[in-house]
Chain A
């Protein structure tokens, strides 16, 4: 009786260890994947971010152009007034 009890507890312990190993490997897997949304969906979001970076770059250039043309407009009206 006692021996059998010991046996069952041993198998129990074994399964517990196995379970622990399984869970830990699962957990480590989850850690590697990091549930990083940016790497999801075939990394398409990276493409979107890069397109947005380029768009912001060109918009900055446009803002600069806008400023420059406004300055020029001012200069023209001023030189007209002087005349």
Chain B
């Protein structure tokens, strides 16, 4: 399923006609590769926080494995989003890092999530580790939401949808672009879930052997 969606994304994303905009030129096609990384990150982090709450309710350590592996995948998405964004910015905004509010905010939220793993690995006792990291996960998620969705909108940003612009109108999303874009979001997110679920399975197996 996800493979078919991604094959469609790459072919249609590279070949279908796109709106001709100055400065952006062909790089508008990056919309199908850079932006889904962030959508994927947020969706995967949402899954992670759901499992963190489930863990706190049930004290079941498999829920903790779900939560931490999904957070892992979210960080991978975030790093890819930042790196691809920097390449894109270099050739459209002129600088890889222009201290754009959204760039800074996403870097901060990534650091917050990296701290999640530092915290996790620094606690020896397993029960304590799971509990504290679940609580921190919830905290990190609700810190990320204003960082990514509210604060950049209050400042002038180079990103579309900020500084008073409505979100998608600025992209000039035409129906072609939109169709590929939604497929891309679904495809990349499913790929992330796939990799995370393999990781989860391996971790659960490892735990069973250890017990």
**Interface residues, chain A, with chain B CB atoms under 8 Å away:** 38-39, 41-44, 46-47, 49-51, 53-54, 57-58, 61-62, 65, 68-69, 71-72, 75-76, 79
Contacts and interface: CB of A to CB of B under 8 A. Distances in A.
Contacts of A58: 191, 195
B87 interface: yes
A72 B205 contact: yes
A42 B23 CA distance: 9
Main secondary structure of the interface of B (DSSP, over half): helix
Interface of B: 10, 14, 24-27, 29-30, 33-34, 37, 73, 76, 79-80, 83-84, 87-88, 91-92, 191, 195, 198-199, 202, 205-206, 209
A57 B80 CA distance: 7
Nearest to B73: A61
A69 B76 contact: no
Contacts of B24: 43
Contact of B83 (A38, A51, A53, A71): A53
Contacts of A51: 10, 33
